[in-house]
Structure 1
Amino acid sequence: MLKKTWGMLAMVGLLAMLLLAGCSSSQGAKETANKPTEDSKTQEEKLKLIEEGTLSFASSGLYKPFNFKKDGQLTGFDVEIGNEIAKRMGLKPKPVTNPWETIIQGLKGNKYDAIIGSMSITPERAAQVDFTDPYYISGAQIFVSESNNTITSKEDLKDKTIGVVQSSTFKDLATKYTSKVKSFPSDVYALQDLPPGRLDAVITDKMVGINAINEQNVKLKTVGELLYEDKIGMAVNKGNTELLNQMNKALADMIQDGTYEKISMKWFNRNILK
């Protein structure tokens, strides 16, 4: 009888242990399932976005045809490229404006996620931000009034009054030829000062000047070849590697499937990455 009683007690104890183990295993499974893992982190956390589900990107909004306002809305080549990149990343695009002279400070201050505003890739800027692969190739071009026959080469710029957009690489270039450099908030404003003779020349992006001639009927002409080739990139904050990689992938996919060229042809009637 005693053996039987001990046997029954042992069996009850074993069953209790199995039951506890099962509960513990079940609870552990639930805890494991609910525990955040690297793979379960949201895309926004990986990308370090300012606003969940949204890619905000900045430009000056004064750089037609790359970024400008039409009927109160930002548009242009840069904006369409940014919109398409956001779409391919599964994010809502949010183009915003910021004064050009403080646009990098705005990025570093987390006012927006990226700069997609025709920014030249330079060592000085690359020390402050991380750049994507170039999304177009341009260059510095000299423009003069259509009636100007005294400036026919870069050598003729000596001691002339040259207009440039403020805080740009064009300003640095102009000072190599003259001390008479006048800064403008927009290249377009500078170009419009050429026909009345308020400026002798303007150094700006070739495509901006061509657009002023074609679309705004400003009486201008180009002088010589490009002063230098410019590689234009999109910028993100230092260390935001995941965002940089995904933007690069979206850009590469756009180029490969022809979407990039379609956008470029719309604005320039040519592929400006070539």
Structure 2
Amino acid sequence: MNRIKSLLIVIAGLVVGMTAQARTFDEIKASGKIIVATEGAYPPFNYYQGSKLTGFEVELAEAMVKKMGLAIEWKALSFDALLAGLSQDRWDMVVASFGITEERAKAVTFTNPHYCSGGVIVSRDGSIKTPAMLAGKTVAVQTGSTYMANVKKLPGLKDVKNFPQDSDARAALLNNRVDAWVSDRFVVKNAIDSNPNLPLKAGGYLFVEKMAIAVKKGNTSVAAAVDKALADVMADGTYKTLSEKYLKEDIRCPQ
């Protein structure tokens, strides 16, 4: 998801976790279990069906962890807390549609990207199609997201309203509280396909980005293990199967 972490929250987490040492991959293997954090509120990538955590990223991570020969323990919590908890060694990795940015890369180590997407503009009637057409408009985005950061760079906006969850930002548009909603291309596609009667019309891209799994800064052994497992599931057809199941297309980044 492609969302920018508040730098102050990341720095605070780094300060708290400064004396702690992240588990190496050998230590994780010895324990037999890897702890993975996600948001659980970002369909179709990570979300709950009743009490079950599921989605493209959830199934992908589970397939990767199986390749590693490990069990998986999930932690689901608010998007803004994920990277701070990683720096405090509360979990070993985070998979939650984090877009790779220079700011985030100062605080965490990113693995190879597991998909590419971008922020698209959504309006009720499809009349807002380009970034220039957002001038004079009020736009809804998720707090701490790359969407919020990129929208705020646009000149001439009337207002930017941020919400704790992406679904809240979408609801603001549906309830006529804002003129547009900016979110991930595939999240928007899923919302429109799942609710064809809702007044949601997608416009063009605001920006394009690569999404990746994050591990603690400098934890190269875990990053290498994640990269290998990702390459393995891409090579054996698992990735393509899961991608087409949830997104109806192969969403890996072009080589």
Task: State the TM-score bracket (shorter-chain normalisation).
Answer: 0.7 to 0.9
From 196, 201, 206, give the equivalent of 1:221. 201
Amino acid at match of 1:155: A
**What TM-score results when the alignment is normalised by the length of structure 2?**
0.84
Shift of 1:191: 1.5
From 253, 257, 260, give the equivalent of 2:232. 253
- 1:52 aligns to 2:63 (yes or no): no
**Cα distance change on mapping 1:120 and 1:45 into 2, 3 Å:** closer
Moved more, 170-179 or 83-92: 170-179
Uncovered stretches (5+) of structure 1, i.e. residues with no partner:
1-43
Amino acid at match of 2:58: V
From 235, 257, 262, give the equivalent of 2:214. 235
- The answer to whether the Cα contact below 8 Å between 1:188 and 1:212 also exists between their aligned partners in 2 is no
- 1:184 aligns to 2:163 (yes or no): yes
Q: Give the corresponding residue for 1:63.
A: 42
Q: Give the corresponding residue for 1:131.
A: 110
Q: Give the corresponding residue for 2:152.
A: 175
Uncovered stretches (5+) of structure 2, i.e. residues with no partner:
1-22
Shift of 1:48: 4.3
5 Å matches for 1:54-93? 54-93=33-72
Does 1 or 2 have the higher relative contact order (CA < 8 Å, sep 6+)?
2
- The answer to whether the Cα contact below 8 Å between 2:141 and 2:182 also exists between their aligned partners in 1 is yes
5 Å matches for 1:72-221? 72-145=51-124, 147=125, 149=127, 151-177=128-154, 178=157, 180-217=159-196, 218-221=198-201
SS of residue in 2 equivalent to 1:78 = helix
- 1:265 aligns to 2:241 (yes or no): no
Distance, in Å, in 1 between the alignment partners of 2:93 and 2:158 is 34
SS of residue in 2 equivalent to 1:132 = strand
Percent identity among equivalent residues?
Answer: 35
Distance, in Å, in 2 between the alignment partners of 1:131 and 1:152 is 32
The alignment yields a C-alpha RMSD, in angstroms, of: 1.8
Amino acid at match of 2:107: Q
Q: Number of matched residues?
A: 228
Amino acid at match of 1:214: D
After TM superposition, what 4+ stretches of structure 1 lie above 3 angstroms from structure 2? 44-51
